[in-house]
Amino acid sequence: MPVLSRPLATLVAVALVLPPLAARADEQTVELRSRGEYQSYPLPEGTTEVDLDEQLSGACRFNRTWGYDLSNKELWVNGGCAARFRITTEATREDKSSNVGLAIAAAAAIAGIAILASKHKDDDRPDGGNPGSGWGSQIRGMGDMCLDIEGSARPGNGLIVFNCHGGTNQRFEWTRRGELRVAGLCLDVANGDDRDGARVIAWNCNGQSNQRWRAYGGQIRSEATGKCLDLKEGQSRPKQPVIMWRCNGGQNQRWSW
């Protein structure tokens, strides 16, 4: 067995001797079923996260046939997905205040371990976890065209559709924060523009609402504006720009992945 270095061993020891924290969050389970149609459930106040606890039937794929929107406080299923979901809500004020000292100590110990472990966190990924290495999935639209960053995935380059070829500028990864990442960059509604026709670009990830997205059925909506990714002029052809437009359910606003 490999011997831990002294700093790491110390951190592990500190983490182990800390008393367990009292529960800091409440959880509840809800069952939601789609028989092909869109179904939703209102999330309680203070919801911080929703996880699929048990799939009951259908194909339940996050942000495709199920998802949640913390802004609108909604959990939804579609396309035949039926499952039990675990809803996590914020801890009470008393829980937070009574555990703050312990939480700080635990966080310090765990952070040290995480820093050392992070060097190897992606060793089991086929691409090593490096930005731009092709991790992610293609997103296809009308005419079987793929979302694509024009030219290459660089900050400021626009979102288009193009013939599917599997390059890194066509491979998108959904994050639990609602980002759509491509080659280490995030899809961004340029300048937070809320008008119809606003440009969508690749940009450095910054956590702002104009870089967060939610899927509703086959639509991809901006959390900042509530509008949908749309093919400009409703045309599907190579290099056609993808813009923001009021959601209308048209085929030019439908995507699959």
216-243 residue pLDDT tens: 889 999 999 999 999 999 999 999 999 9
Residues with Cβ within 8 Å of 79's Cβ and at least 6 positions away in sequence, in order, are 34, 36, 58, 59, 64, 65, 217
Predicted pLDDT at 74: 86
Angle among Cα 62, 247, 182 to the nearest 5 degrees reads 45
115-135 residue pLDDT tens: 444 443 333 333 333 333 335
- Tokens at residue 108, please? 């310090």
Query: What class does CATH assign to 142-253?
Result: mainly beta
In whole angstroms, give the CA distance from residue 17 to residue 13.
6
76-86 residue pLDDT tens: 888 899 999 99
pTM: 0.53
Query: What class does CATH assign to 25-90?
Result: mainly beta
- How do the domains of the chain map onto residue ranges? 6-21+92-120, 25-90, 142-253
Predicted pLDDT at 216: 83
